[in-house]
Amino acid sequence: MGATFRVLQFNMQFGQSWDDAYPDHAPINLDLTIAEIRAHDADIVLLQEVEQGWPGGAQTEPPPNFMRLRGALSGYEGYFAYPKSDPRELPFGIGLAIFSRTPLTERLRVDVPSPPLEFEFKGRTMTPTDRLLIGATTTVGRRRLRVFNTHLLAFFMLKAGGVEPPGQRELVLARLEASEGPTLLGGDFNVSRHRSLVRQFSRAGFRTVQSRRITWRRRPYVLDHLFYSRHLKPVRHAVKPTPASDHHVLVAEFEFT
């Protein structure tokens, strides 16, 4: 890593590619996912929805997509975690990963509880499963960097009136505030009204690299963010549409202040 370092934020939707006509039935193409990640030549890669969830809460060990990624991303060290296994799991994406060109230490895994809001799924009344936050420490040019990755509950998908109950964002923010020194947080925050999220984290001293360009194909929402502490300065950033997911890629370069 040089004077600046590059970070890639990507909800990879367990390798399911994008099809404008039939988005829910697009094929899984992990080779396309790998090619997209490689193309950005990032020093740190933050991924959400690495694996596919299965009804009943089954979780394949070792995680197959993560193992493919780890084998294909030579020169990176990887850390992966599933959320807590839950029989209420639905067949969407689960699991978080951090890849770094420098070693990952002080690894952290925190369950992020979901409130017992009821929603309908294929004629059944359901309540959401818990979410996840992971973290690790690495070094960039001999500087210590704390990195977090999360994927929060999409309250707007539950038709919960658009008002998010407190809890998940506050738990993540508490972990950020407890981090000393340069800190990054990436993730899919699933906040449709993202300005409230940006204000909340800004009050705690964490800014997002961008909040204007949408990052999701299905609705015009800014769901994906890279938040950074005052010890870091974004040099450039870009939102890159990709056929490898229903989310766009967010990439940013940082330097230490």
- CB-based contact 170:149 (threshold 8 Å): no
The dihedral sign for the CA sequence 92, 61, 75, 35: negative
- Confidence label for 160 from pLDDT (cuts 50, 70 and 90): low
Q: How far apart are CA 2 and CA 143, in angstroms?
A: 12
Q: Is residue 161 pLDDT above 60, yes or no?
A: no
Nearest Cα neighbor of 124 from 177, 83, 88, 174 is: 88
Is 5-256 a CATH 3.60.10.10 domain?
yes
Alpha-carbon 15 to chain mean position: 14
Percentage of the chain surpassing pLDDT 70?
97
Q: For 79-101, what is the mean pLDDT?
A: 97
Q: Is residue 254 pLDDT above 90, yes or no?
A: yes
* pTM summary value: 0.97
Question: What DSSP designation does 166 have?
Answer: S
**Token pair recorded at residue 101:** 């060109």
Q: For 173-200, what is the mean pLDDT?
A: 96
**Model pLDDT, residue 167:** 92
Question: Residue 56 in 3-state DSSP?
Answer: coil
- Confidence label for 163 from pLDDT (cuts 50, 70 and 90): low
Q: Is residue 2 pLDDT above 70, yes or no?
A: no
Lowest mean pLDDT among 5-9, 57-61, 114-118: 114-118
Q: For 232-246, what is the mean pLDDT?
A: 98
**Model pLDDT, residue 55:** 85
Burial of 27: CB neighbours in 10 Å, binned 0-12, 13-18, 19+ = exposed
Q: 87: cis peptide before it, omega within 30°?
A: no
- Confidence label for 92 from pLDDT (cuts 50, 70 and 90): very high
Q: For 201-226, what is the mean pLDDT?
A: 97
Domain boundaries, the chain: 5-256
